[in-house]
Amino acid sequence: KILIANRGEIAIRIMRAANEMGKRTVAVFAEEDKLGLHRFKADEAYRIGEGMGPVAAYLSIAEMIRVAKESGADAIHPGYGFLSENAAFAKQCEANDIIFIGPGSDAIELMGSKRLSKIAMIAAGVPCIPGYQGADQDDAVLVEQAQEIGFPIMVKASAGGGGRGMRLVFEAKELLAQIKIARSEAENAFGSGELILERAVIEPRHIEIQVFADSHGNVVYLGERDCSIQRRHQKVVEEAPSPFVDEQLRQRMGKAAVDAAKSCQYRGAGTVEFLVDSNKDFYFLEMNTRLQVEHPVTELITGLDLVEWQLLVAAGEYLPL
């Protein structure tokens, strides 16, 4: 029996795969979603977050664990967004003997930090953009490091994503002001003002590799998605296969993505994102430790059901391919 700690499209998507596999499903819904379709598609449904508001309800770890116990759910699928990349949630599932359908909490925690994940990727031999990912976050240290890296430079929130806490700086005289803005944005959006610096890759392609791992040490990559068309660092269009990636580059990036997953004992579905310059040199950007919104693009070109794979891997089975 699987509790789906989400709502809307992704909740229904997970239910579809679960139903096809003969698994029972449990929905949760905030008061505002009492007429939501996901509530009626599940075998059971429980209200959560009384007095919390619709977003806070789905972010409540305590409520999700409560319903899992009350319903007798064996596993929780977090979907995407909300608690899907919350290491504390994965830890609570582990502590309560509930299967978390996703990677282990250690992998989520590591990849949730741009600073720590980059250090780990360098150690694993995955190509990374030259930059600074040190623990000393003093403004003067960041300015000094930026001079060594050279301009233009990217200032990035270590805990960030979606363009928040990110600044492209072309000249040294602009840097200090942009560091302060990025740090303030990062603290407000993510609760952490930790920053990293990277040499700016101008007009790169943004390519992400879908990876999948089981609990037996097997990892595969399932091709790429080209998400270079963006607005304000938010993806607008995803295309697969990429018109830019040739077979040799695909294999090189695929191997790097598999190495990234193996280095953190990854389990389940994940996406390793790279920036690729005009010379087809690629650099690790980040790893999303969940099923992505864009996963159907990969399903369409491979003919595979990635949610079904998630459920199989969470049950301890080997990768089907």
Q: Is 290 among the catalytic positions?
A: yes
Contact 108, 90 (CB under 8 A): yes
Give CA separation, 123 vs 49, 117, 260, in Å. 42, 10, 10
Q: Are strands 166-169 and 195-199 parallel, antiparallel or unpaired?
A: unpaired
Give CA separation, 135 vs 141, 142, 181, in Å. 10, 11, 19
Any idea what DSSP says for residue 124?
A: T
Give CA separation, 206 vs 68, 120, 159, 212, in Å. 38, 21, 19, 20
CA 209, distance to chain mean position in Å, is 12
- Which of 39, 167, 225, 290 is catalytic? The answer is 290
Catalytic positions, written as ranges: 290
